Amino acid sequence: MSDSVDQIEKKLLQAIEKSVSPREVLRAKELKQLYSQLPSLPPAERSAFGQKINALKKKLEVAAASREEDLMSSERTPIDVTAPFDKNSPPPSLLPAEQGTIHPLNTELARIIDIFTRMGFNAVQSRQLDDDYHMFTSLNFPENHPARDGYDTFRTSEGYVPPAHTSTMQNRILKAGRKDLEKGGQIAAISYGRVFRNEDVDATHEHTFYQVEGIFVSSDANLSQMLGTLQSFFETYYGQKLKIKTQPAYFPFVEPGLEFAIEKPAALGGKPGEWLEMLGCGMIHPNVLKEAGIDATKYRGFAWGGGVERLVMLKYGIEDLRHFESGKLAFLRKFV
Ligand code: DAH
């Protein structure tokens, strides 16, 4: 009797080692037969035999489990860290039903564009790769002038420039609007887009950021129109009355050149007398008009330009500029 149990054990263990579904072996008829012999045994032998076949069953179960594990691990492909992601993980059949959202800078840029287009300005996107002529020469930066150093940006090996400001669009806008001007009209446009600077990155400096530039030319444009336009823009954007002030500044493409500041509103945590410089502006330099083929004795214009992030940071109390390009979901979801 016990011989046959040992034989069955040997046979079934071998079967498990070869099987691709080892648990099936636990249902083998030999095992059932052993159990069915129990009632016919003399009572004195019954208990010992019962223990023996129970022990056998346990042994087979352990062997089946171990064989199953071997099978699974041999099916697993070794991980190749250089392979495309779907080589190492199952296809994304159960992607979470979550949608992306518009980046807060794009939402705010759309608001800014909306305010200016309602005032009658055309909007044009700036280029992300430009040339020396539009970056400097057309804007009255003399060759080798130190003022160029303030716009330290990158360069491609072909000599193209990722622009350091949106003023690169001024010459193009002026040339495009020249005909309208000559027909008695005016030029009113904004240009917006990404700009790039060779900066050490910290809470208030980024190598990549957004600017909005404005340009207006007519036969009698003047500084008070410019200040009115800018004050009206900022009051609409922040939804409240604001105090403004200017101070002289140097930019080769405007004369006079100014820095434009607003008093930080109390509603946004400002104290009286706390001024925030928002942008550069001024009356367009005659050389810039001439370079675009516009008669500077008949027409005059004003222009301004400044960063978008600064406006948005003030509006929402964002303390670190680096959040915008960080791709951090916790930050982005606050603006949904
Ligand atoms: N382009 C200047 C800068 O990025 C800002 C600026 C100043 C633009 C005066 C203007 C302007 O149009 O008139 O620093």
Three-class SS of residue 277? Answer: strand
Write the burial class of residue 169 (CB in 10 Å: 0-12 exposed, 13-18 middle, 19+ buried). buried
Please list, residue by residue across 38-52, b when 16 or more beta carbons sit within 10 angstroms of its beta carbon and e when fewer do.
eeeeeeeeeeebeeb
Of 21-35, 121-135, 170-184, 265-279, the least confident: 21-35
Q: Examine the pLDDT at 88 and tell me if it is beyond 70.
A: no
Return the C-alpha torsion angle 275, 281, 283, 286, nearest 10.
Answer: 150
Q: Among 135, 151, 165, which residue has the most ligand 1 atoms within 8 Å of its CB, making it the best to mutate? A: 165
Ligand 1 center–CA 80 separation, angstroms: 51
Enumerate residues 6+ apart whose C-beta is below 8 A from 304. Answer: 213, 214, 226, 230, 260, 279, 280, 281, 282
> Does the beta carbon of 49 lie inside 6 Å of ligand 1?
no
Within 8 A by CB and 6+ apart from 248, the residues are 256, 257, 258, 259
| Kind of pairing between the strands at 300-307 and 208-218 | antiparallel
Instruction: Output the residue whose Cα is nearest ligand 1's atom 8.
Output: 305
Is the pLDDT at 23 greater than 80? The verdict is: yes
Higher pLDDT, 123 or 3: 123
pTM for the whole thing? 0.72
CB 303 within 8 A of CB 170: yes
Cβ of residue 251 lying under 6 Å from some atom of ligand 1:
yes
pLDDT of residue 214: 98
CA distances from 46 to 53, 59, 192, 197 (A): 11, 20, 92, 90
Cβ distance 262 to 310 under 8 Å?
Answer: no
pLDDT at 322: 95
**Under 8 Å CB-to-CB from 219, ≥6 apart: which residues?**
298, 299, 300
For residue range 244-263, list pLDDT tens digits in order: 999 999 999 999 999 999 99
Q: Which amino acid makes up residue 143?
A: E
CA dist 214 and 134 (Å) reads 16
Ligand 1 lined by 15 (C-beta under 6 Å): no
